[in-house]
Amino acid sequence: MTAIDRTKLKTLQQREESRFLADHPKSAALYNRAQSSLLGGVPMNWMKKWAGAFPVFVKSAKLAHITDVDNREYIDLCLGDTGAMTGHSPEIVADVVARRAKEGITLMLPTEDSLWVGEDLKRRFGLPYWQFTLTATDANRFAIRIAREITQRSKILVFHYCYHGTVDESFAALENGVIGPRRGNIGPPVNPAETTRVVEFNDLNVLEDALKHHDVACILAEPAMTNVGIILPEDGFWRAAQELARRYGSLLVADETHTICAGPGGCTAEWKLDPDMLVFGKAIGSGIPGATFGVSEEVAQRISARIHLDDCDVGGIGGTLAGNALSLAAMRATLEYILTPAAFEHMISLAKRFADAVGENIRAAGNVPRHHRGRHRRAHQSLRLSGRRTHLLGGTAILAVLFIRYDFPRYSLTSSCFCFWPLALLASVWQRYDCLTG
Ligand SMILES: Cc1ncc(COP(=O)(O)O)c(C=O)c1O
């Protein structure tokens, strides 16, 4: 295996860092100015995690392209971590949003768009009833509250190293088999071991052991884990997991926020899953804040038996701006014109081509160095090259394919690091080949 020359690496890094400073004088000036008004010099502290001494400040973005304040152009391989998976400001969504913005933005009353969106979501995912929030985090939090209320159970179950947004209960992880706060968990309200059971993905035995306590209100899960590389379910995992959930009286909440890239109805439709609740956020409004959760007929009935109108606005589920007219207009335009079945068909075939070619190149390169991280091992073990799995992987490459659709690379990726998603994608391809070779 080729050894990495660390000294050379350090020299290259220093060269790139100096170049970055020289290339971004206006961003540097704005970042310095921001130190006196923004905590850490950025609107949110994670914006500092980009490579380079400071984040670039953006002037504008369109589809797959970003222009910064120094007039440098980039291909955006991050796309707002899928919040802008549809491309930045697709023309039709931008027009609809501009029109709606002049006709009332937030009303605390329904608009007809909400019906259109609810009907469309019902067709896509099969769940009959829908509610709207501002973020996928909120949708997950509200799904959890509902699950707790209707099951009268206190715990939720998540898979080790999941990510579902800033949901307190989900920041639990296993450390030597013991549940505790995940590394970096900021000010946890209680030790998440009190609220959460954590098990390894794809391990039906430990899942059953956890459910046997009869205290799990719901399993909150991505159908395929997308925030820790990409971990695909073993054949038959979800069918068996659903059966276990039903047997022990726990609900299943499918978080399709990222896995929507598998098709117009996410993995739920692609793999014929049957969740009790489903969450979809981020890309649903092309970047305009908005998210949704859907519930089954049975859950809907249990909600109406326990949750009453008198107190529902102060009951922990809601938010003044939730379900606002602007979000719903953006969601409708996105679902009607952008995330359409025809677009998925086209994109997935291109994505498959992309994934196949990357795989071919890796195979041709032969002895490519590989990197295992302990907590991901189960992922490596779980990945195989079956058609269905390849399909999800191809679906993930949708992001890359959007670039092709929307005017592919005229500019090369710069030393800036808008590259999270393709790295995840490539990592997943590598993981796949790890299974074949390692
Ligand atoms: C699977 C999944 N669900 C939910 C969320 C939360 O989305 P938001 O940060 O928009 O609330 C994320 C965020 O990355 C996510 O990856």
pLDDT score for 217: 99
* pLDDT for 312: 85
**What is the rounded CA–CA span in Å between residue 427 and residue 277?**
30
The CB of 242 under 6 Å from ligand 1? The reply is no
Q: Which among 348, 371, 351, 346 has a CA at the least distance from the CA of 430? A: 371
For the chain, give every residue range classified as CATH 3.40.640.10. 91-337
> Is residue 185 lining ligand 1, measured as CB closer than 6 Å?
no
For tokens 């710069």, name the residue. Answer: 414
Is residue 131 in contact with ligand 1, taking CB distance under 6 Å? no
Distance 434 CA to ligand 1 centre (A): 28
Residue 370 confidence (pLDDT) = 54
Counting other chains too, the contacts that 112-117 makes at CB distance below 8 Å and 24 or more residues apart are: 113/325, 113/328, 113/329, 113/331, 113/332, 114/323, 114/328, 116/332, 116/336, 117/292, 117/328, 117/331, 117/332, 117/335
pTM for this prediction? 0.87
Residue 168: Cβ within 10 Å count: 17
Residues 187, 161 contacting (CB under 8 angstroms)? no
**How far does the centroid of ligand 1 lie from the alpha carbon of residue 281, in Å?**
7
- pLDDT the model gives residue 387: 38
Task: Please work out whether the CB of residue 258 comes within 6 Å of at least one atom of ligand 1.
Answer: yes
- Neighbour count for residue 237 (Cβ, 10 Å): 18
First-to-last alpha carbon distance for the chain, in angstroms, is 13
* Amino acid (1-letter code) at residue 106: T
- Reading the block at residue 250, the tokens are 């726990």
Is the CB–ligand 1 distance for residue 135 below 6 Å? yes
pLDDT along the chain (438 residues), means of 10: 88 94 97 98 94 94 97 94 95 98 98 98 98 98 98 98 97 95 93 97 98 98 95 97 98 98 96 98 98 98 92 91 98 98 93 90 78 40 36 47 38 31 42 31
Q: Whose CA is nearest to atom 4 of ligand 1?
A: 164
pLDDT for the residue numbered 1: 65
In total, the chain counts a number of residues equal to 438
Alpha-carbon separation of residue 81 from 132, 140, 398 (angstroms): 21, 18, 13
**Contact, 372 vs 380, CB < 8 A?**
yes
Q: What is the pLDDT of residue 63?
A: 95
On whether the CB atoms of residues 179 and 172 are closer than 8 A, the answer is yes
Name the CA dihedral angle for 306, 309, 311, 312, rounded to a multiple of 10 degrees: 80
Question: Which residue has the CA at smallest separation from atom 14 of ligand 1?
Answer: 165
What is the enclosing helix (H) or strand (E) of 197?
strand 196-199
Distance 164 CA to ligand 1 centre (A): 5
| Dihedral in degrees, nearest 10, Cα atoms 357, 359, 362, 368 | 160
Q: What number does the ligand 1 atom closest to the CA of 162 have?
A: 1
* Residue 268 CB partners (closer than 8 Å, separation 6+): 125, 126, 223, 254, 256, 275, 278
For residue 203, give both structure tokens.
């391990």
The response to whether residue 137 sits with its C-beta less than 6 Å from ligand 1 reads yes
In short, whether 263's Cβ falls inside 6 Å of ligand 1 is no
Q: Give the Å distance between the CA of 6 and the centre of ligand 1.
A: 35
pLDDT score for 153: 98
Distance 216 CA to ligand 1 centre (A): 22
Q: Whose Cα sits closest to atom 15 in ligand 1?
A: 164
Q: Alpha-carbon Rg of the chain, whole angstroms?
A: 22
Number of CB atoms found within 10 A of residue 123's CB: 13
Question: What would the CATH number be for the domain defined by 91-337?
Answer: 3.40.640.10
What is the reported pLDDT for 400?
A: 47
